[in-house]
């Protein structure tokens, strides 16, 4: 009887192939360091700043890698996705760059900055059988986005590219980790935010190939801890409309494709409170001088939480942190910072 591990739905070879596709299109984002951050964590910290990516988040990587691989006919028929913001922007811009028609299903309460940016990108995308490329809103309280999107896609023969449960999306997101290891070298521990799991699973593939001893850690909001519970039980758990300032992590569950990879390559999963998240976010503004959204601070909040509660895991070690995005809703910035009980430094 064979004991060989099952073949994963995405491999490092797919990540490397995505890097070739994205070369010259996606930004190679900076890796920032800070002596203040090193002192706070107790190790050498390398922050991969996807807040400097096109559309302001890592999502452009997976979005472009997916849309660019569609046939000409598929692009003419149209691309459809559903997202609260960052994946929406990614698919909208990728569609504009590749001449595809697109419909983006977004919640009516999506952050204003993400909604307006998505609409602006779609102005440059192609028209299709359904009319101009556009945003279609839905009500989180009464509608299910997958159902709204599925009905539109069936009606107009469009290709659905979901936010995370898609092999080309996972492979594209993994290029952020690939670049981090190429620049920073071997790491002992890598912290990555997790909502649907696309970024975490993709980065874990890069870690397994380029820094095999690195422990990959997923970080999510405490009120949306479905990925942590899934990791601990070995089966996918769900959560319904969790209340958290990390809007990018308000996913109903982790994706099946990412979860298969996470079970193989992720070492640990953490949950942080909104207060811990806000404190990490404030640190980025005050000391790293970078614009960051709440979801973008999840990984850093996880590293700081470990430094306080499990210091042996990070002390004197080389630590990677993926800053996943910077699309903050500026009118709410004071509200976010107010959640932090006190500055970290």
Query: One of 59, 114, 228, 305 is an active-site residue; which one?
Result: 59
Distance of CA 172 to the CA centre of its chain: 11
Report the C-alpha gap between 183 and 24 in whole angstroms: 17
The token pair at 222 is 């405490």
Query: What is the phi/psi pair of residue 115, to 5°?
Result: -65, -45
Count of CB atoms within 10 A of residue 35's CB? 10
Report the C-alpha gap between 281 and 263 in whole angstroms: 29
- Reduced DSSP (H G I as helix, E B as strand, rest coil) percent helix, strand, coil of the chain, to 5: 50, 15, 35
Distance of CA 271 to the CA centre of its chain: 16
The set of residues, in sequence order, having a beta carbon less than 8 Å from that of 260 and lying 6+ positions away, is 6, 8, 9
Query: One of 66, 68, 83, 84 is an active-site residue; which one?
Result: 84
CA-nearest of 6, 54, 17 to 168 is: 17
Report the C-alpha gap between 252 and 266 in whole angstroms: 20
Query: What is the phi/psi pair of residue 109, to 5°?
Result: -100, 20
Give residue for tokens 């980025």.
Answer: 284
Q: Examine the residue annotation and report whether 84 is marked as an active-site residue of this protein.
A: yes
Count of CB atoms within 10 A of residue 76's CB? 16
The token pair at 247 is 């809007």
Distances (CA, A) of 36 to 39, 61, 146, 181, 314: 5, 30, 43, 22, 15
Report the residue count for the chain: 345
3-state secondary structure of 133: coil
Q: Would you name the residues annotated as active-site residues?
A: 59, 84
């Amino acid at each position: 009887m064979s004991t060989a591990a099952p073949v994963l739905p995405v491999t490092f070879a797919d990540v490397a192939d995505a890097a070739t596709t994205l070369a010259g299109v996606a930004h190679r984002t900076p890796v920032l360091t800070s002596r203040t951050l090193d002192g706070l964590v107790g190790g050498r910290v390398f922050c991969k700043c996807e807040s400097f990516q096109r559309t302001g988040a890592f999502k452009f990587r997976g979005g472009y890698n997916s849309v660019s691989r569609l046939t000409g006919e598929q692009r003419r028929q149209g691309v459809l996705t559903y997202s609260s913001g960052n994946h929406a922007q990614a698919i909208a811009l990728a569609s504009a760059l590749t001449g595809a028609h697109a419909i983006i299903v977004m919640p009516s309460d999506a952050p204003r900055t993400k909604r307006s940016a998505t609409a602006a990108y779609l102005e440059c995308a192609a028209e299709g059988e359904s009319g101009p490329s556009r945003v279609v809103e839905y009500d989180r309280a009464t509608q299910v986005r997958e159902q709204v999107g599925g009905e539109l896609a069936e009606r107009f023969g469009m290709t659905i590219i979901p936010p995370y449960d898609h092999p080309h999306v996972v492979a594209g997101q993994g290029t952020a980790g690939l670049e981090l290891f190429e620049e920073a070298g071997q790491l002992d521990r890598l912290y990555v935010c997790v909502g649907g799991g696309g970024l975490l699973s993709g980065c874990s593939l890069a870690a397994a190939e380029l820094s095999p001893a690195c422990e990959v850690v997923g970080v999510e909001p405490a009120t949306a801890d479905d990925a942590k519970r899934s990791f601990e039980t070995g089966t996918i758990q769900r959560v319904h409309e969790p209340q958290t300032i990390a809007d990018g992590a308000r996913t109903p569950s982790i994706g099946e494709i990412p979860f298969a990879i996470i079970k193989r390559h992720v070492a640990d999963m953490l949950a942080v409170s909104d207060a811990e998240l806000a404190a990490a976010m404030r640190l980025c503004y005050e000391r790293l001088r970078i614009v960051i959204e709440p979801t973008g601070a999840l990984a850093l909040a996880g590293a700081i939480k470990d430094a306080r509660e499990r210091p042996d895991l990070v002390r004197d070690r080389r630590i990677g942190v993926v800053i996943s995005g910077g699309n903050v809703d500026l009118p709410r910035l004071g509200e976010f910072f107010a959640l932090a009980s006190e500055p970290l430094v």
